[in-house]
């Protein structure tokens, strides 16, 4: 199997750090805006739609859990695709996921600036927006260059600050949940099921880069699968409860314009609205921290596997982190965040990720066959042969077919740009 110089990295990510990575990658800005949009199409069925989609999507997560258990080195999707289909597919997969995560970082940094602007009027100006985006991006870049422990500690703080208020909101809101809300009598109709599901899936994506940090994780073959599966399951249950409280508290006629801030206001007045607004800021901050920790490891892995110039594969002599890859991610995210040119890319981000999921799941049979005996013995082997990966593959294919032509055009451009960079690297070598 593909290996690199990841052994030079310090293994400072334990079970809690890995769980923080998954949680912050999955729970970002989406859950604070999606409940109302989904409820417009699904009504009281919204909580169950979140749960059912999460169950089907768990097949994708479980497939990634097994894939992660075969590797101890940094790379994640890049390694899976490379070992099964060769370096060109491996590079394309890593490149697309890296662009998706970087674009997502830039988009979420803008959303954080908007939320802060709603809290304090001077933050709503254009200059303040630029300063907020710059401060957040530079701060997280520096924290991760200094060491993965600082990055994990930052995520841990954000995790507590964003999960605790959501749990309190759920506890306060469950008293408003009646039997008719929990089990609606009908009609059992969901408008535009495909488009609604594709929108909803935004709340679950982002977990895929957990495998990228294997080179800095203690006992990665055991830690990563457990953290991945357990955290995504708990996140799905939390989503179900959050959306259940949403449809119980918010009148149906207000679904289209309501957010979780309105739920907080209904439950606890202005204080509740303020707390949920701050929670959204912390949630986005945690998502940004997770992206800055995981995404640079993608281009680091591609560089150490000779898919990008070796310049990106440097490990800082003192901090033992891939400093140049982190710096590259920070600069690109800052440029995208300040210029707003990432908007078109954000439209295609879900398609990019789903393409990566399809490639990685399709790689599983080859990786199973070619794993050595010791690796196979300790792997997180799924029951039922290929039943679960097949469900995950079909789910991803069905979701990607719901996308529009514009998304495919952007994906094609990104693939072409990546192919040019890959060709230049091979020519230089």
| pLDDT recorded at residue 14 | 63
CATH number at residue 282: 1.20.1740.10
Q: Which segments of the chain have a pLDDT < 50?
A: 3-7, 342
94 and 77 Cβ atoms separated by less than 8 Å:
yes
Summarised one tens digit per residue, pLDDT across range 146-175 is: 876 666 666 677 777 878 888 999 999 999
Evaluate whether residue 138 is within a structural domain: yes
Are 25 and 212 in contact by the 8 Å Cβ rule? The answer is: no
- The pLDDT, as a whole number, for residue 150 is 61
Inside any domain, residue 264: yes
For residue 287, the model assigns a pLDDT of 79
Residue 136's pLDDT is 92
Residue 1 resides in a domain: no
**Number of domains into which the chain is organized:** 1
Identify whether 134 is part of a domain: yes
Is 339:310 a contact under the CB 8 Å cutoff? no
Nearest to 205 by CA among 330, 53, 66, 341: 53
Burial class (CB in 10 A: 0-12, 13-18, 19+), 234: middle
Instruction: Answer yes or no: is 422 within a domain.
Output: yes
Q: Is residue 96 part of a domain?
A: yes
pLDDT value of position 144? 83
Domain coverage including residue 127:
7-428
| Amino acid 248: pLDDT | 94
Say what the pLDDT of residue 397 is.
Answer: 92
pLDDT digits (tens, 9 = 90+) for 39-95: 888 889 999 999 998 898 889 988 988 888 888 776 678 888 989 998 888 888 888
Q: How far apart are CA 66 and CA 389, in angstroms?
A: 10
Q: Which residues pair with 217 in a beta bridge?
A: 13
Is the whole-model pTM more than 0.85?
no
What's the pLDDT at 161?
80
Asked whether residue 2 is domain-assigned, the answer is no
């Amino acid at each position: 199997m593909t290996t690199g110089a990841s052994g030079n990295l310090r293994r400072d990510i334990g079970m809690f750090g890995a769980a923080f990575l998954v949680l912050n990658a999955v729970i970002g800005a989406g859950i604070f805006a999606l409940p109302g949009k989904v409820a417009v199409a699904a009504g009281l069925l919204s909580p169950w739609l979140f749960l059912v989609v999460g169950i089907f999507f768990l097949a994708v997560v479980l497939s990634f859990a097994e894939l992660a258990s075969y590797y101890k080195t940094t790379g994640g999707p890049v390694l899976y695709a490379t070992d099964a289909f060769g370096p060109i597919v491996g590079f394309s997969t890593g490149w697309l996921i890296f662009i998706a995560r970087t674009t997502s970082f830039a988009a979420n940094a803008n959303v954080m600036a908007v939320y802060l602007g709603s809290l304090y009027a001077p933050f709503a100006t254009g200059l303040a927006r630029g300063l907020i985006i710059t401060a957040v991006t530079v701060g997280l870049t520096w924290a991760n260059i200094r060491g993965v422990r600082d990055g994990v500690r930052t995520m841990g703080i954000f995790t507590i600050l964003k999960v605790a208020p959501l749990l309190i909101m759920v506890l306060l809101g469950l008293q408003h949940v009646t039997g008719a809300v929990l089990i609606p009598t009908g009609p059992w109709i969901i408008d535009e099921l495909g488009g609604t599901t594709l929108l909803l899936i935004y709340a679950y994506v982002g977990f895929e880069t957990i495998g990228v940090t294997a080179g800095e994780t203690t006992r990665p073959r055991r830690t990563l699968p457990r953290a991945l599966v357990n955290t995504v399951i708990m996140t799905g249950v939390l989503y179900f409860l959050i959306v259940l409280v949403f449809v119980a508290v918010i009148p149906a006629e207000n679904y289209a314009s309501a957010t979780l801030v309105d739920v907080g206001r209904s439950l606890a007045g202005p204080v509740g609205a303020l707390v949920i607004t701050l929670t959204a800021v912390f949630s986005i901050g945690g998502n940004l921290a997770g992206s800055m920790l995981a995404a640079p490891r993608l281009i680091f892995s591609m560089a150490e596997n000779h898919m990008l110039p070796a310049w990106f594969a440097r490990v800082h002599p003192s901090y033992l982190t891939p400093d140049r890859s982190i710096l590259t991610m920070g600069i690109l995210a800052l440029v995208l965040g300040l210029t707003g040119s990432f908007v078109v890319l954000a439209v295609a981000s879900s398609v990019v990720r789903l393409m990566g999921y399809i490639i990685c799941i399709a790689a599983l049979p080859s990786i199973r066959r070619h794993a050595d005996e010791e690796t196979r013995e300790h792997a997180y082997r799924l029951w039922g042969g290929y039943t679960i990966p097949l469900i995950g593959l079909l789910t991803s294919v069905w979701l990607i077919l719901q996308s529009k032509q514009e998304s495919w055009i952007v994906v094609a451009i990104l693939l072409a740009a990546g192919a040019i960079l890959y060709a230049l690297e091979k020519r230089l070598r």
